[in-house]
Amino acid sequence: MTPAERRAALEAIAAEVRVCTICRLAEGRTNAVPGEGSPDTEVVVIGEGPGFNEDRLGRPFIGRAGDLLTKLLGSIEWRREDVFITNVVKCRPPDNRDPEPDEVAACGPYLKRQLEALDPALIVTLGRHSMGRFMPGARISQAHGTTGPVDPASGARDATVFAMYHPAAALRSAEVERQSYEDAARIPQVLLDARARRAAAAGQQPASKPAPDPEPAADLTIF
């Protein structure tokens, strides 16, 4: 896709998400939260579901967990604007409970289409429900900080997944927070490796810059 086509595709998906009534989560939401960030990035960050603040404003990761995510990205000299941030479910589960499997499945086609439009080299999952979509059967306590190939059926072509704890878990545990910063420090090299894997699959030379490379000076875009 061209940049204009990617942006148009993401905007169309977001418009559908905002009026979606496929599952029960639509009944209690204030706003659906499609996602935000650069439409031209190589990196997609996927959390679990919106919380209170996200539901109120229609943006992902803007509460305390979002503040920590911003700090984790900042620790490797990245910004929120450098990545695309979304969740496996686009509406807030009641009382911030875990999303149910059927709710994740209901939102699955939206996430798949977002990944098809963005075509990322690297997917960073935050939390066990996000990780479970790409690493079925894995335990977050063992899988955090590790990588794996992404099933093309997910919508991502020749992508790599990198699992991390959810920032909300890090807010509850100093040890998990420490591990989250250690895992974040690995992301630039993981991105280089993901590019190399993708380039090898396509018979090309990988780019060597250890950071996502969105179009210049794009402000954070809400989709």
Residue 96 lies in a domain: yes
Residue 190 and residue 160 in contact, taking contact as beta carbons nearer than 8 Å: yes
Range of the domain at 93: 3-202
3-state secondary structure 8-29: HHHHHHHHHHHCCCCCHHHHHC
**Segments of the chain with pLDDT less than 50:** 217
Residue 138 lies in a domain: yes
Classify residue 209: in a domain, yes or no.
no
Q: Give the helix/strand (H/E) hosting 187.
A: helix 174-202
For residue 212, tell me if it sits in a domain.
Answer: no
Whether residue 208 is contained in a domain is answered as no
Look at the chain and report how many structural domains it folds into: 1
Please give the pLDDT value at position 204. Answer: 77
- What's the pTM value of the predicted model, to 2 decimals? 0.92
Q: At what angle do helices 64-74 and 174-202 cross, to 10 degrees?
A: 60
Phi-psi region of 5 (alpha: psi -120 to 50; beta: other; left: phi over 0): alpha
Give dist(CA 138, CA 149) in Å, integer.
14
Query: What was the pLDDT predicted at 219?
Result: 57
pLDDT of residue 203: 83
What sign for the dihedral angle of Cα 103, 108, 109, 111? positive
pLDDT at position 215 is: 52
Note whether residue 46 is domain-resident: yes
pLDDT value of position 21: 97
189 part of a folded domain: yes
Return the pLDDT at 217.
44
* Domain annotation covers residue 222: no
Answer yes or no: are the C-beta atoms of 44 and 115 closer than 8 Å: yes
Domain with residue 141: its CATH number is 3.40.470.10
